[in-house]
Amino acid sequence: MNNAMIRRYLLLVATGLLTVALAGCDKLPGVSAPKAEFKAVDITGTEMGKGLVLSDVDGKSRTMADFKGKVTVVFFGFTQCPDVCPTTLAEFVAIKKALGADGARLQPVFISVDPERDTAEILKAYMAAFDPGFVALRGTLDQTAAAAKSFKAFYQKVPGKTPGSYTMDHTAGSYVFDADGRARLFVRYGQPVEDWVSDLKQLMS
């Protein structure tokens, strides 16, 4: 075998090894997987949600650790919201359906920013109207403020004509956590379902 043939052989072998390495790079020690390209805003590495301590509709105290094992989507809203909240929850239903069998690995979590009106009973009925598997959380005014702060989420009461007719301004986006409980994405309101599905499938793979 002459030198030219040896060089050609080594090149072919090296190319083949490179292809294998790239195909399984996440399995090789010391080699990081290629950075995922998401449609949503990548918030990997942040401490979002670390301060969450709220009760579910059955009165059980919950933290983000309770949702490990599933890809969790957290949304802040209120049941008397006229548009953004019901639209977002309806999108979660569509996203879960579009994921097919992987839909069972998705856990939407709705956090009320209006605990004065959103009782556990009201929240339970509200979730059931979309999907009984969706989780709703609420707390005292102070607990709600602490939860929102841990997500850097905004909300405030907007007075109405009467004391009970107020509305709430709030962050309209959603926060996505992977199955290990790590904050990964911030999804702006109105992102297409197909973009959601693309991002979620990456997190589930």
Residue ranges of the annotated binding site for Cu cation are 81, 85, 170
**Distance, CA of 71 to CA of 2 (rounded, Å):** 56
> Dihedral of the CA atoms 126, 128, 130, 132 (nearest 10)?
130
Binding positions: 81, 85, 170
Among the listed residues 60, 146, 174, 160, the one whose alpha carbon sits nearest the alpha carbon of residue 117: 160
